[in-house]
Structure 1
Amino acid sequence: MNLSSHLIQRKLKLSPPLTRDLVVERDLRVPMPDGAELLADRWAPKAGGEALPVALIRTPYGRSGLFGTAMARPLAERGYQVLIQSTRGGFGSGGVFDPMRQEREDGLATLDWLIKQPWSGGSIVLVGLSYLGYAQWAVADRLPPEVKAMIPQVTESALTLEFLRQDGFSLETPFGWGVLTAVQERPWAMLRQPAQARRTRRALHTLPLDQADVAAVGHRSDYIQGILAHDADDPHWAGFDHRHRVAEVTVPVSSIGGWYDIFLPGQLRDFRILQEAGRPARLTIGPWTHLDMNDTAIREAVEFGLAHARGEEPPHRAPVRLFVTGEEAWRDFESWPPSGGKPQRFHLRPGGALSTEPPGEAASDGYRYDPADPTPAVGGVRMVPDSGRVDNKDLEARADVLTYTTDVLDQDVEVIGEVSAEIWFRSSLPHADVFVRLCDVDPRGRSYNVCDGLTSLSGADETTRATIGLWPTAHRFKRGHRIRVQVSSGAFPRYARNPGTGEPHATATTLRAADQTVHHGPERPSAVILPVRAAE
């Protein structure tokens, strides 16, 4: 066990622990009001563990392996005792797993049980990433006084719903998560991961999509069927959305996210709600994807969480700490988005140019989008190994991707905040998607993605102004670099391919190619809108 402790310390670049001598009590039974029992493991130092604050982790992914070793162990070695609980219906816990719907009632019952345990120590900190962070938001407005802080990481209070927007269906992430939860308890699941990943990738090409779950896991999945059939506003998802609880949180919150994380917009929304409600909160956003591992969460649990658990103030820092990509440096601010940014339009112009100067003449560019050979997702906001910031050379060489690029910058351009685009667009079909990506082109000509977004249109066979919300960012385009905007009609399989027919995603079987036109000019000023700040 000490070997794993040393490996985790090295991998996460952690400071040395207070102790490596731990005891683990396994399979504690936590009763729920309906009679189900959820299993939990308690990690604590062998000496003096009963007096320590409790870090509570509620997870659907099991209590051993990554979550036990890489989460519970480093916290238990650094001042906590840790209760890691398997959520309902998984890894020995009773009941049936019904994703996202059960975490409020079960979480409140777990807290009620925990504060009554003789070893509970009198203070609790809620920690965890992704679904584990969502489980925190599910109970955030009814925390007992023993809970002293929350540390949600790469997560948000309305998990899944951002993927299911009617104007932009993100297929890959919720489908992949549905597959993961369907197969994770099969024998030798970890060893079978590479083969399963290949099977899942193939399944995403299935037509109709409502047969893809069988192709991926061998049987129907209620969750996958749900994401294919019901958009974010459908009553089917009642109970998933905990946004209304965020402003009612009374404990300090330290929120940790990444610029290439799948939940970033919702996480920033939650933080703004906290700030506007006057709640004690701070935000840290690094250059990370959803799957990146680093020391930030453990460090916050120790510096921020333990301080509040002991009735102390954590070390002072600004409410917002952002890693500014391009500059490759951490910067502190008072709010999100930071003050001082001014929206500046970078106009699409003839010849693939991009400029702050308004276009002087009407022009257009065209391409053909074929969903049978869809424009691929390259890097960006995904839960796959090649996500994040990548070279876009091969993507930009495709005939179905337009690019618009500034002249070489004669000074730095700093962009921090919400990014959007307005693209005047027409398709030969009524139904089409518009995908916009912002890139930084270095002096060697390599184009690296900064942020992007997609919107789906109906009535696209009439010229229309498409408004696209891109991912938020904090990026500095350095002097000598160029700013580039890509326009295309997809990023598959991150987003479901638009079949062009208007058929529902779940049942569409016909794929129709379309001729797409992007207009730019004085009457149709297509542009990306960047929140530009005076470079410091």
Structure 2
Amino acid sequence: MSVGSHLIQRILRLPPPSTRDLVVERGLRVPMRDGAVLLADRWAPRKGAHGLPTALLRIPYGREGMIGAQMVRPLAERGYQVLIQSTRGTFGSGGDFDPLRCEREDGLDTLDWVVKQPWFGASLVLYGGSYLGFAQWAVADQLPPQVKAMIPSVSESAFTLEFLRKDGYSLEATFNWGVQVAGQERRGAMLRQLLGMRRQRRALHTLPLNQADTAAMGRKSDYFQDCLAHDADTPYWSVLDHSERVAGITVPVSSIGGWYDIFLPGQLRDHQALQAAGRQARLTVGPWAHISMGVGRTATGEALDFGLAHARGEQPADRAPVRLFVMGEGAWRDFPSWPPPGYPAQRFHLLSGGSLAAAPPGESAPDGYRYDPADPTPAVGGVRMAIGTKAGAVDNTALEARSDVLTYTTPVLDKDVEVIGEVSAEVWFRSSLPYADVFVRLCDVDEKGRSFNVCDGLVGLTGADETSCATVRLWPTAYRFKRGHRIRLQVSSGAFPRYNRNPGTGEPRGTATTLRAADQEVFHDPAHPSAVILPVRQL
């Protein structure tokens, strides 16, 4: 494995290991309270493993191949012994795979087992991203004293509930993940997934939507069907919400997130809860989407600095509690908290003629566009979680040329404008139908007139045929709009397939079959002062 070890070292930009000679004990049997047995592998240096800190990863995606090479080996070569466990019902572990719903009980049982093993030293670090991060949050308020640190990345304590909002269903993420895990243990699963991407994308257009999984893979996905049947605020998903436990966490936590990650709002909420409770917590947010090598590099670095130091009873390298990559400036900056102080909210108003300015609006007629769910406004870049789909900042020129997208733009900036914190918009809106969505996107327009997305958000409305103020929560951001650039706001009624298209009928999302086009209006006058609210620091 020397070649693979060197390759991963180079990809993750790691220092040389203390050893490349590892031993792997496979198929360790970990009993659960209900009699199920979960399987785990233990990686450790062939020599000198006794007493080393243990890193625990609980994962539903298997334990071998690139999982072991990229996530486990780097830690086992650099000071840890690593236990990687397949979650219930996956890759040989007993019980049924009921995604996310068993991680608290199974996680607590696993911790109890680990600390009793003869090879266990004196300390344990919880590690991993996405689902693996949620597995940490699920147990974090009831940890044994041997756990010294948590390092969750691109994850949150109320995992996936942002996907399932009644007023903004994240179709792409739930559908793709449901299809992925339904077929992940078949022979050649990765190749099948790559070859099936085009069919999978076509399936997202299926009506009714509860037939889309069958269209993509010939059978149902239980997880996707549950997502269609139950909104985030129903009792069915309450077992996934551990957000009220966060303030009770006492171990140090280092969270790694991305400005274009789908879990970012919840991850920042978790960090704020730790801050408010006076816990030892640090946060790193980079210019990354959910699937990004930058996340892996940073998380591995935190495991080797923050995690190992706490496991050894030492202090990690000194740094500020919050480290953010400020896009536009292209630089890392340190702050004392999230959101950082010194960024008061400033309103930029939508004005007639497609202008955007701090000045309040004058009398003006509303702007209009027609939204047709049969030809939905597409998702372009931004917060995406799909293999083969470009996420992050992309050129929005073609999107903004569509007749169903309105834009409002400032004059050329005469100085830099720095925006760091929570972003929202208030859009006075009316539709010809009672059911409609409002999608808002903040963009940076460069000297060449190219528009690149910074952050965005969507809210669904009922009673949309009456004029009302739609409050849209955009993704948080850290961005510097440079002198000579312009700030732009897009307003439309969708971003498909990131969000499910609104059929305009009020039918349940899983069974809707009728698509109705709608005429939408956006108001910007003294009685209806539509605006985007940005946290701005004066430079």
- TM-score (norm. length: structure 1): 0.99
Opposite residue 522 of structure 2, the aligned amino acid is V
Distance 1:13 1:312 in 2: 24
Task: Give 1:54 shift.
Answer: 0.4
- Note the C-alpha offset of 1:33: 1.3
2:443 alignment partner, SS class: strand
Shift of 1:510: 0.1
SS at match of 2:96: coil
Stretch of structure 1 that moved more, 7-16 or 503-512: 7-16
- Deviation for aligned residue 1:192: 1.5
Q: Separation in 2 of the partners of 1:513 and 1:69?
A: 50
Contact 1:362/1:523 (<8 A) preserved: no
Per-residue displacement from partner, 1:185-211 (whole Å, max 9, x unpaired)? 111011122222222211111100111
Determine the C-alpha separation between the residues in 1 that align with 2:314 and 2:487: 46
Aligned pairs for 1:103-182 (under 5 A) are 103-182=103-182
2:517 counterpart of 1:513: yes
Distance 1:397 1:15 in 2: 48
Partner of 2:330: 328
Amino acid at match of 2:57: I
CA distance in 2, matches of 1:55, 1:345: 46
Contact 2:252–2:279 (Cα < 8 Å) also in 1: yes
Alignment partner, residue 467 of structure 1: 471
SS at match of 1:74: helix
Partners of 2:196 and 2:106 in 1: CA distance: 31
Contact 1:182 1:217 in 2 (8 A): no
Cα shift readout 1:256-296 (whole Å, capped 9, x = no counterpart): 00000010000000000000011110000000000001310
1:214 positional shift: 1.2
Please say if 1:359 is aligned against 2:379: no
User: Aligned pair 1:253/2:257, yes or no?
Assistant: no
What amino acid does structure 1 have at the position aligned with 2:188? Answer: W
Q: Is the 8 A contact 2:180 2:193 kept in 1?
A: no
Counterpart of 2:91 in 1: which secondary structure?
Answer: coil
The equivalent residue for 2:206 is 206
Deviation at 1:216, TM superposition (A): 1.9
5 Å-filtered alignment, 1:225-304, equals 225-294=225-294, 295-304=297-306
Partner of 1:33: 33
Query: Matched residues in 2 for 1:245 and 1:380: separation?
Result: 30
Please, which moves more after superposition, 193-202 or 420-429?
Answer: 193-202
Cα distance, 1:220 vs structure 2 = 1.8
CA distance in structure 1 between the aligned counterparts of 2:66 and 2:141, rounded to whole angstroms: 29
Aligned to 1:491: 495
Note if 1:380 corresponds to 2:382.
Answer: yes
Give the SS at the match of 1:179: helix
Letter of the aligned partner of 1:124 in structure 2? L
CA contact (8 A) 1:367 1:399 kept: yes
Retained in 1: the 8 A contact 2:436–2:502?
A: yes
CA distance in 2, matches of 1:329, 1:467: 31
C-alpha distance in 1 between matches for 2:112 and 2:180: 30
d(CA) in 2 for partners of 1:118 and 1:445? 64
1:14 positional shift: 1.7
Percent identity at matched positions?
74
Question: Per-residue deviation at 1:12?
Answer: 1.7
Within 2, Cα distance between the matches of 1:369 and 1:249?
A: 46
Which has the higher mean CA deviation after the structures are superposed, 81-90 or 197-206? 197-206
The ranges of structure 1 where at least 4 consecutive aligned residues each deviate by more than 3 angstroms after the TM superposition are none
Aligned position for 1:397: 401
Question: For 1:358 and 1:342, how far apart are their aligned partners in 2?
Answer: 18
Cα distance, 1:50 vs. partner? 2.1
Displacement after TM superposition at 1:217 (Å): 2.3
The equivalent residue for 1:70 is: 70
Distance in 1 between the 2:531 and 2:353 partners?
Answer: 15
Q: Name the SS for the 2:366 alignment partner.
A: strand
What residue ranges of structure 1 are gaps of 5+ in the alignment? none
| Aligned-residue offset at 1:23 | 1.0
User: Which letter maps to 2:317?
Assistant: P
Q: Secondary structure at the match of 1:50?
A: coil
Equivalent position SS for 1:400: coil
Match in the other structure for 1:532 = 536
Task: Report the alpha carbon displacement of residue 362 of structure 1 after superposing the two structures with TM.
Answer: 2.1
Structure 2: how far apart are the matches of 1:252 and 1:327?
Answer: 30
Paired residue secondary structure (1:51): coil
- TM-superposed deviation, 1:534: 2.4
Partner Cα distance (1:413, 1:113) in 2: 53
CA shift for structure 1 position 19: 1.4
1:462 counterpart letter in structure 2: E
CA distance in 2, matches of 1:150, 1:460: 44
- 1:360-412 per-position Cα deviation (integer Å, ceiling 9, x unaligned): 22221111100000000000001133011111111111111011111110000
Deviation string, structure 1 residues 84-108 (Cα, Å, up to 9, x no partner): 0000000011110001111011101
Q: Which has the larger displacement, 4-13 or 248-257?
A: 4-13
Q: Give the letter aligned to residue 272 of structure 1.
A: Q
Q: Where does residue 11 of structure 1 map in the other structure?
A: 11
2-side partners of 1:31 and 1:2: how far apart? 34
Q: Does 1:443 align with 2:443?
A: no
Q: Does 1:340 align with 2:356?
A: no
How much has 1:65 moved relative to structure 2? 2.0
Compute the displacement of 1:221 (Å). Answer: 2.0
- What is the TM-score normalised by the length of structure 2? 0.98
Q: How far apart, in 2, do the equivalents of 1:90 and 1:452 lie?
A: 35
